């Protein structure tokens, strides 16, 4: 993305000895930044979803490990990095980018000799992860936009824009780049209950990028598809198993079923860092269960009777058979996905 095209907001940034995050829980009402000086503040920001989206939490956590090495007493940068990596990796379970990013920074720290070198190595690796994500997003956007017909009407779920990646975004990057190239006419934005990432964040980002959109109730997606008003579904991913099963925000799986029923292509846009070489299929992906209160209240206001119980799985798994293609920075992976993934995937971190 050229500087002129960069949005005037920065979801994750390293400032000297601080990790600065745009607090996504306050959007769209308020653009407020928080500055984390301690690992615990970064971990809290990830758990409470002040920063969210698989790549963005990885980047924030990577900077969090760098922060820990700087706060460490002499002679303990490696131990501090290891403690921080363990704490941050546990902040949310489903997005594999989180554990992957802190493991990368941990390896870089262990390979350095002495505390000063370890600190430099940690920050350099975290910065590299962030830069690589920006480059991956650009490549994904270009490859994804090329798949779309002229004047496409896209449907997306959750939030996969710059807020979620620290770059241009994955699925939303495809929408933004597609619109710039004249291929995307409108984006239907699932509101994405219960946290409303679509209505709150995706709508805000599409507005900032001048992409036409309309927010729809999650339940309206099938009706729009039945009426022939959706040319493609494009979503992100939190973890992709080596067989091509895809974990993403709860509500993605039903979208894939409906898309298959109506013959609408279902694209997953994700960097290679989201493919987990250690997870053979979707059944092994840990699914985060969040607080019941997220379902029982909207914007903090209760909508269910006092004492009502809820279930709140935050992600679901779409079987590989329902995925038309996975758009990565290494190209478009198609069926058989297991073989395409094996040809493209990253290896485990040393
Ligand atoms: O719970 P969230 O908001 O972190 O969930 C985010 C998603 O499910 C995104 O679709 C996914 O992380 C891909 S972000 C490019």
Q: Please tell me the residue having the least CA distance from ligand 1 atom 6.
A: 53
Task: Give every residue of the chain whose pLDDT is below 50, as ranges.
Answer: 1-4
Q: Where are the domains of the chain?
A: 3-137, 142-344
238 classed as catalytic: yes
At residue 8, the pLDDT reads 86
CA 235 / ligand 1 centre spacing (Å):
9
Q: Which two tokens stand for residue 301?
A: 């206001």
At residue 350, the pLDDT reads 62
CA angle 251, 254, 255 (to 5 degrees): 85
Catalytic residue among 238, 245, 276, 316: 238
Cβ < 6 Å from ligand 1: which residues?
52-55, 95, 158, 160, 164-165, 170, 197, 236-238, 248-249, 314
At residue 75, the pLDDT reads 65
CATH 3.40.50.10470 assigned to 142-344: yes
CA 58 / ligand 1 centre spacing (Å):
12
- Which CATH topology does 3-137 take? 1.20.120
Q: Is the pTM of this model over 0.75?
A: yes
CA 126 / ligand 1 centre spacing (Å):
20
Q: How far apart are CA 256 and CA 189, in angstroms?
A: 15
At residue 226, the pLDDT reads 98
């Amino acid at each position: 993305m050229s500087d002129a095209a960069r949005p005037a907001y920065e979801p994750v940034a390293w400032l000297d000895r601080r990790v600065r995050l745009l607090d996504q829980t306050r959007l769209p009402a308020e653009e407020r930044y928080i500055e984390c000086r301690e690992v615990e503040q970064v971990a809290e920001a990830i758990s409470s979803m002040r920063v969210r989206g698989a790549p963005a939490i990885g980047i924030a956590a990577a900077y969090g490990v760098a922060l820990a090495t700087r706060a460490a007493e002499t002679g303990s940068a490696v131990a501090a990095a290891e403690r921080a990596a363990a704490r941050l990796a546990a902040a949310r379970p489903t997005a594999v980018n989180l554990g992957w990013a802190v493991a990368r920074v941990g390896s870089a720290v262990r390979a350095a000799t002495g505390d000063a070198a370890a600190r430099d190595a940690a920050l350099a690796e975290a910065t590299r992860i962030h830069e690589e994500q920006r480059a991956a997003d650009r490549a994904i956007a270009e490859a994804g936009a090329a798949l779309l017909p002229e004047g496409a009407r896209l449907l997306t779920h959750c939030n996969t824009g710059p807020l979620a990646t620290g770059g241009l975004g994955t699925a939303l990057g495809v929408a933004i780049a597609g619109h710039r190239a004249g291929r995307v006419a409108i984006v239907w934005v699932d509101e994405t209950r219960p946290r409303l990432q679509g209505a709150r964040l995706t709508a805000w980002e599409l507005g900032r990028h001048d992409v036409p959109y309309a927010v729809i109730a999650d339940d309206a997606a099938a009706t729009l598809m039945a009426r022939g008003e959706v040319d493609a579904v494009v979503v992100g991913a939190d973890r992709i198993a080596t067989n091509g099963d895809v974990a993403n925000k709860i509500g993605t799986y039903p979208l894939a079923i409906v898309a298959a029923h109506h013959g609408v292509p279902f694209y997953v846009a994700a960097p290679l860092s989201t493919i987990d070489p250690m997870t053979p299929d979707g059944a092994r992906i840990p699914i985060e269960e969040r607080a019941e209160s997220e379902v029982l209240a909207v914007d903090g206001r209760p909508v269910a009777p006092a004492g009502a119980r809820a279930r709140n799985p935050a992600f679901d798994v779409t079987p590989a058979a329902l995925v038309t293609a996975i758009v990565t920075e290494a190209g478009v992976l198609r069926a058989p996905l297991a073989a395409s993934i094996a040809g493209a995937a990253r290896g485990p971190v040393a």
